[in-house]
């Protein structure tokens, strides 16, 4: 059963389109991540669920009930804001208790819940402090505590980790995942950080310019990006992309490009029949490029000659930039590879690892 449903939701701010024809079903107890570059509409979508923005068109449903006109406080949602929005004049205790007080719980019950939440989050010693006296990480915990203590049907999180330093972010990421498992509740999590999305989400919904690009489990989104935008956005270093033309020779279908000519396998040829005019984009992930000839494994491969431009050693691996004609290719290679700029090397790619997109529409072909 869908817990939260976006039914063709659009939101305009004057002329500006924030979200357009957005439809998405979010399931009970799911951890879904709304991912996209800044300004893509992901935060607006979240705020529409919270009731802080009204959809211009379409419906938003919580538990199968249209809540377009329902005030935020009657939606039974809790939200964690990017800069926490803690009440600066209240102690940590009162910050956490505020939502419970507003709901008219008994004082003793509030006390029990606040202390329990504070204990779980390691805030026990800090209950009398004001937010101004806390570190960034502690404030973030108070913001989480304020949400958890409410036990809502859905948690909304708007980039909750973006103000933390790198180390704390990784740590809190894991804690949030654990928290989700423990609470058994739906999380809608907004971020622009693909690592957070990949590591935390049950599913990822990728937005760009207000439009939903693709929804799916992280691995699926990575392995089979639905269009050129998703292919380029997910993965670091980004997927190599180059334009190609489909040509039939001797009964086989080839993708001819500046980089090389690739004989497509049967499945890809099948998908490629959808290409509008034979103009495609070919994509290959950096980890799918190998230095050396195409011997072994028996899989269909293509080998091209390329010149080393730049080698970046990261300790566990090396990112090597090659150039061939006017195109550049980035390969993720073993750190022990000994390459230096201007070396000419053969680069091999397995044809099964190629991604094919329609150049006009950006849609995935195979």
Partner 1 sequence: MKSGDAATAALPAPVPLRRRYPWLGGLSRFGGGMVFLALPLFLFGVFVFYPLVKSIYLGFFVSDPFGHGQEFVGFDQYREVLTSPDFRKSLLVTVLFALYTVPTGMILGLVFALLANQRLHGALFFRTVFSSTIAASVAVAAVMWLMLLNPSAGIVNWVLGQFDLPRVNWLTDPQWRQTWDSGPALMAVSLTTIWLNIGFTTLVLLAALQNIPQELYESARVDGASPWSLLRHITLPMLSPALLFVVIVASINAFQSFGQIHILTRGGPLDATNVIVYSIYTDAFINFEYGAAAVRAVALFVLVLAFTLVQFRFLAGKVFYR
34 versus 354: smaller Cβ distance to partner 1? 34
**How do strand 355-358 and strand 261-263 relate by DSSP bridges?**
unpaired
30 versus 158: smaller Cβ distance to partner 1? 158
Angle of helix 136-148 versus helix 166-183 axis, rounded to 10: 10
Tokens of 256: 């001819």
CB of 28 to partner 1, least distance (A): 20
Q: What is the sign, positive or negative, of the torsion defined by CA atoms of 86, 92, 96, 99?
A: negative
CB of 284 to partner 1, least distance (A): 43
CB of 103 to partner 1, least distance (A): 5
49 versus 354: smaller Cβ distance to partner 1? 49
Q: Confirm if 352 and 223 have CB atoms less than 8 A apart.
A: no
98 versus 262: smaller Cβ distance to partner 1? 98
List CB contacts of 246: < 8 A, sequence separation 6 or more.
Answer: 253, 254, 255, 256, 272, 275, 278, 279, 280
51 versus 216: smaller Cβ distance to partner 1? 51
H-state helical runs in the chain:
42-50, 92-102, 107-120, 136-148, 166-183, 194-200, 218-223, 228-233, 266-272
CB of 156 to partner 1, least distance (A): 8
CB of 82 to partner 1, least distance (A): 8
Which residues sit at the interface with partner 1, rule CB under 8 A? Answer: 50-52, 71-73, 77-79, 81, 83, 85, 87-90, 98-99, 102-103, 132, 146, 150, 156
Of 9, 113, 101, the C-alpha closest to 61 is 9
């Amino acid at each position: 059963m869908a817990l939260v449903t976006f039914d063709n939701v659009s939101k305009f701010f004057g002329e500006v389109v924030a979200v357009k024809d957005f439809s998405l079903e979010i399931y009970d107890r799911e951890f879904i991540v709304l991912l996209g570059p800044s300004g893509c509409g992901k935060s607006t979508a979240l705020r529409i669920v919270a009731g802080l923005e009204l959809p211009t068109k379409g419906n938003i449903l919580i538990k199968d009930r249209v809540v377009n006109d329902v005030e935020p406080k009657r939606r039974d949602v809790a939200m964690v804001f990017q800069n926490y929005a803690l009440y600066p004049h209240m102690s940590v205790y009162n910050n956490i208790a505020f939502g419970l007080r507003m709901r008219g719980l008994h004082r003793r019950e509030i006390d029990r819940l606040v202390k329990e939440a504070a204990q779980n989050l390691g805030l026990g010693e800090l209950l009398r402090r004001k937010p101004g006296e806390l570190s960034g990480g502690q404030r973030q915990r108070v913001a989480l505590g304020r949400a958890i203590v409410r036990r809502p049907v859905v948690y909304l999180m708007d980039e909750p980790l973006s103000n933390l330093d790198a180390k704390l972010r990784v740590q809190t990421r894991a804690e949030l995942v654990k928290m989700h498992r423990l609470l058994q509740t739906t999380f809608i999590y907004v971020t622009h950080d693909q690592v957070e999305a990949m590591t935390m989400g049950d599913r990822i919904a990728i937005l760009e310019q207000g439009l939903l690009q693709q929804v799916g489990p992280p691995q699926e989104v990575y392995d089979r990006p639905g269009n050129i935008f998703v292919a380029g956005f997910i993965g670091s270093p980004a997927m190599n992309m180059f334009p190609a033309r489909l040509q039939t020779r001797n009964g086989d279908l080839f993708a001819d490009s500046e980089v090389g000519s690739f004989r497509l396998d049967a499945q890809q040829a099948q998908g490629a029949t959808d290409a509008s005019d034979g103009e495609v984009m070919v994509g290959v992930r950096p980890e799918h490029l190998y230095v050396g000839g195409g011997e072994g494994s028996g899989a269909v491969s293509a080998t091209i000659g390329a010149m080393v431009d730049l080698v970046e050693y990261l300790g566990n691996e090396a990112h090597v930039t090659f150039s061939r004609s006017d195109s550049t290719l980035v390969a993720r290679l073993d750190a022990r590879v000994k390459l230096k700029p201007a070396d000419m090397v053969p680069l091999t790619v397995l044809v099964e690892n190629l991604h094919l997109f329609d150049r006009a529409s950006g849609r995935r072909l195979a």
